[in-house]
Amino acid sequence: MSTAKTPPPPRGRGSALKPDSRFAEWQREHFDDGWSDADERLTDAPQTILSEDSARSVITFNRSPDVPFDRSINPYRGCEHGCCYCFARPSHAYLGFSPGLDFETRLVCKPDAAARLREELARPGYRCAPIALGVNTDAWQPIERRLGVTRSILEVLAETRHPVSIVTKGVLIERDLDLLAELAADGLAEVMISVTTLDKALARKMEPRAPTPERRLEMIGRLQAAGVPVGVLMAPLIPALNDHELERVLEAASAAGAQKAGYVLLRLPHELRALFADWLESHYPQRSARILNRLRELRGGELNNTEFGTRMRGEGIFADLYAQRFRNCVRRLGLNPGRGKLDCSRFAPPRPNTTQMELF
């Protein structure tokens, strides 16, 4: 058995592995040949490589009963934040990229997203319902500062008075407070800020290129001051790693100005099982077995469960305990008071890009 200690992830990145895409024509399997896996790990800080996606549509529809929306827009594929736990990592395999390091460094943007959105909203059969922005990968990740794709999407939504719900941990959202405040004034926008821990050391390891916990709490305060309904999302809740912080995170977010709260249990689809287990061995080897075993207890003996109704919360005694703790804390802090719906009645389809004057 090899006892070689594997090196940590590259500086500023969350994953050290680069497994093959499960859709590739060939696959590699690990076997103990006496060599370590060091050649699979990249020790130099890799640069971000950007490519473009010329998709004919940007709105993705879903029928999941576990989420409060049926459509979403993701301006980017992959995410520079490098969160070790990101459930979206396996989706990178559809592009022929690795869900590991490629997810953080081989990014894909949709530069014409605003134009495609205008076309879709203008279709005669379109029926307005809130659009979730940046659910799969963060719409305000670092490359947005240079590209402005998310900003252009918000401009179309503001123009058409289309409701939008947002989840992010990117401080760049503060750049767009003008549009968000305008939308929120008509009941058309709400934001959930992802805060997974108040421990800076843990945050640095879990989310190496994301803002600090303190900075995210500041974001909550600034959104609230601008009149934008804002809440906190503790996602993921990880057994024996950050679950003890549930009440502390909600209390800090409430004090910062959050009016709503939610949580999601850690999900480990496809390649993420091996990626997260490897991350645990690199950073918390003494706790690795305990965390994974507790997760299996919450997932019916498996590391992941895709069943609707339980995949976001888990099942069993520990899942019930999390739910009870969350309810008690929310009630004590006065969060989630009659969570109102976004207004869809103000929607007006975009005008066609033409020089011809309208008849009426």
Per-residue confidence (pLDDT) for residue 18, from 0 to 100: 67
Q: What is the reported pTM?
A: 0.85
Does 206 have pLDDT greater than 70? Answer: yes
Percent of the residues in the chain that have a pLDDT greater than 70, as a whole number: 87
Question: Any residues with CB less than 8 A from the CB of 238 and at least 6 apart, and which?
Answer: 85, 266, 291, 295
Position 97 pLDDT exceeds 70: yes
pLDDT at 343 over 70: yes
Range of weakest confidence among 46-55, 95-104, 253-262? 46-55
Beta bridge pairs of residue 281? none
Q: Give residue 11's pLDDT.
A: 73
How far apart CA 154 and CA 172 sit, in angstroms, is 13
pLDDT of residue 152: 97
pLDDT for 41: 46
Buried b (16+ CB within 10 A) or exposed e, 314-339: bbeebbeebeebbeebbeebebeeee
Query: HSE-up of 197 (CA within 13 Å, CB side)?
Result: 22
30 assigned to some structural domain: no
Round to whole Å and give the CA distance between 204 and 210. 8
Structure tokens at 174: 């503060």
Kind of pairing, strands 49-52 and 106-109? parallel
Domain that holds residue 167: 38-333
**What number is the average pLDDT over the span 223-230?**
97
Query: What is the per-residue pLDDT for 5?
Result: 54
Work out the average pLDDT over 141-157. Answer: 95
Query: Worst-scoring range by mean pLDDT, 99-108, 144-153, 168-177, 300-309?
Result: 300-309
* In-domain check, residue 71: yes
Q: What is the pLDDT of residue 26?
A: 42
pLDDT tier at 1, thresholds 50, 70, 90: very low
Instruction: Give 92 or 27, the one with higher predicted confidence.
Output: 92
Whether the pLDDT of residue 247 is over 80: the answer is yes
174-194 mean pLDDT:
97
Assess if residue 20 is contained within a domain: no
pLDDT band at 103 (very low <50, low <70, confident <90, very high): very high
Residue 349 is assigned to a structural domain of this protein: no
Q: Give residue 32's pLDDT.
A: 40
> Predicted confidence band at 24 (pLDDT cuts at 50, 70, 90)?
low
Distance CA 290, CA 179 (A): 45
Dihedral over Cα of 100, 102, 104, 109: its sign: negative
CATH number at residue 65: 3.20.20.70
| Mean pLDDT, the chain, whole residue set | 88
- The model's pLDDT over 29-67, given as tens digits with 9 standing for 90+, comes to 443 433 344 444 444 567 889 999 877 889 999 888 888
Residue 94 lies in a domain: yes
| pLDDT over 60 at 129, yes or no | yes
Q: Is the pLDDT of residue 203 over 90?
A: yes
Can you say whether residue 82 is alpha, beta or left, with left for phi > 0 and alpha for psi between -120 and 50 degrees? left
Confidence of residue 27 (pLDDT cuts 50, 70, 90): very low
**Residue 68 is assigned to a structural domain of this protein:** yes
Residue 121 within any structural domain of the chain: yes
Domain total for the chain?
1
Examine the pLDDT at 333 and tell me if it is beyond 60. Answer: yes
Length, in residues, of the chain: 360
Q: Would you say residue 346 lies in a domain? A: no
pLDDT value for 321: 97
CA distances from 351 to 149, 160, 307, 344, 355 (A): 20, 9, 42, 18, 11
71-73 vs 131-133, strand pairing mode: parallel
